[in-house]
Amino acid sequence: MDKYARIQFLKIYSGIYILEEKLSSLPWAMLCCVDFNGNFKQVTPTFAAKLGRTEIAISQWPKLQDLIHHQDIETTKSALLQLYAGDAATFEVRCQHTNNDYHWLLWQATVEQDSFYAQITDISKYKKTSSTEVTHKHLLLILDNLDTLVYVADIKTYEIIYTNRYGKDIFGDIIGQTCQQAFSQHENLCPFCSKHRVSKNNKSREWECYSSVTKKWYRLHEHTINWLDGRLVRLEIAYDITKHKQADESLKISQERYMLAVRAGKTGVWDWNLLNNEMYLGPHQKVLLGLNDVKLSDGLKAWMSVVHPDDLEKLQKASNDYLQKTIPQIEEEYRIIKKDGSVDWMIVRGTTVHNEQGHAYRMVGTNTNITERKNFDSYLQEQQRLCRGVSDITHVLLTRLDHDKAIRLALKMLGELFIVDRTYIFENEDADEEFIINQRFNWVSDKKYDISHNLQHFSYDSMR
């Protein structure tokens, strides 16, 4: 407002009586008289022309409140209340031209009876400049708060003239450096820039690049814009996609492993039509289930026929729970009984395919032989069990004061650990060139084991 303080209300030139007498006598000024209902009573030709109207057709003018931009209605109401109270008022509002454009107008008004007189000044140019500055400030504030790299480079020299706070925190002060110096630490243009000329039609382009500074991958979006100083620049927005790259690589490795497993015959595929209950078993799946030399009329029934009886119910339950959406996925370990009576471990994984209505009509998945893993897991578990058992026995032998009781308890624990029905401790004795073996301790289980055992010998020396 200070910029326009030089604008004095017209009564300092010729007095309010001039306005009352005839505003048109001052055609060079933008003046008007408006009553408190918003009706224009008098206007000068200059003011009328500013709004694309004439002072002659003033009776056809819309009311003041109908000329005002809707966002300035409250400002106008506040000014009118001030004038109605008898005070002068100064306010800025946008008024509509007949071509529907809006002009920013400064109103300096004073009251006279049931109306007010105003001198108007067009401040659109000032407002536009001020609005642009505010917009630029807001733009920079937004860019500084983005959790991604934003920088601006000269369109010809590639010199960086701006970077947001994210860029400063990661790369430091890079203003004045070229983008290849700042992000790749070399002088040559990056492959993308060397192959593509910058578009001047504001068409967005994107590509991926690797920064040797941060050791990360970025996806860049490039726009050609006019910067704050008016020059044409490259606006670059770079998103960190390192995790996506790593995920893509992991997916690629997983797919390769899957294909290797399929080719090795350890994974088979299946496809279950939920509408007619027909199931397709892939070639490897048939081999895994031992059904490769059998003509199948019902794939699902044939599969379930080789499942271990103890695992059949849980396999069916997992499938039903998944279809009823009570579990997020189907992934179940189970056993099959082969033709020779041996048992193989499998893991089945499946997912549903839905139609446009969201109803599942197919389930597809894989079946993998995990017998080796299960055997190894069992071996590890057995080793852990034996280690814990031996540790407990050692603890008994070292902490019990009564040695005889300690040995008898240790024998009992040893027998239960190895699942045998008897354990002994013999003592060797040399007497007159004779070798005598005496049984010192023994333990006999009160359980009967339904498995065969081999006699195992443990010498004292081997256990020390």
* Per-residue pLDDT tens over the stretch 399-438: 666 777 778 888 888 888 888 888 877 766 665 666 666 6
> What is the predicted pLDDT for the residue at 134?
53
CATH 3.30.450.20 given to domain 265-369: yes
Helix (H) or strand (E) holding 443: strand 434-444
Could you tell me the CA-to-CA distances from 332 to 272, 366, 419 in Å, in that order? 17, 11, 30
CATH no. of 139-240? 3.30.450.20
> What is the predicted pLDDT for the residue at 402?
72
Of 155, 149, 210, 157, nearest to 185 by C-alpha is: 210
Which residues touch 282 (CB under 8 Å, ≥6 apart)?
268, 269, 270
Q: What does the alpha-carbon distance between residue 388 and residue 237 come to, in Å, rounded to a whole number?
A: 59
Write the Ramachandran bin of 309: left for phi over 0, alpha for psi from -120 to 50, otherwise beta.
alpha
In the chain, which residues have pLDDT < 70?
Answer: 1-25, 128-142, 145, 187-204, 228, 251, 254-265, 387, 397-401, 427-439, 448-464
2-122 matches 265-369 in fold: yes
Q: What does the alpha-carbon distance between residue 47 and residue 25 come to, in Å, rounded to a whole number?
A: 13
Helix (H) or strand (E) holding 45: helix 45-50
What are the structural domain ranges in the chain?
2-122, 139-240, 265-369, 386-463
Q: Please, what is the end-to-end C-alpha distance for the chain in angstroms?
A: 100
> What is the predicted pLDDT for the residue at 413?
86
> What is the predicted pLDDT for the residue at 125?
82
Task: Report which DSSP code applies to 265.
Answer: T
CATH no. of 2-122? 3.30.450.20
Going 445 to 448 to 453 to 454, the CA torsion angle's sign is positive
Alpha helices in 64-152 (DSSP H): 64-67, 73-84, 124-144
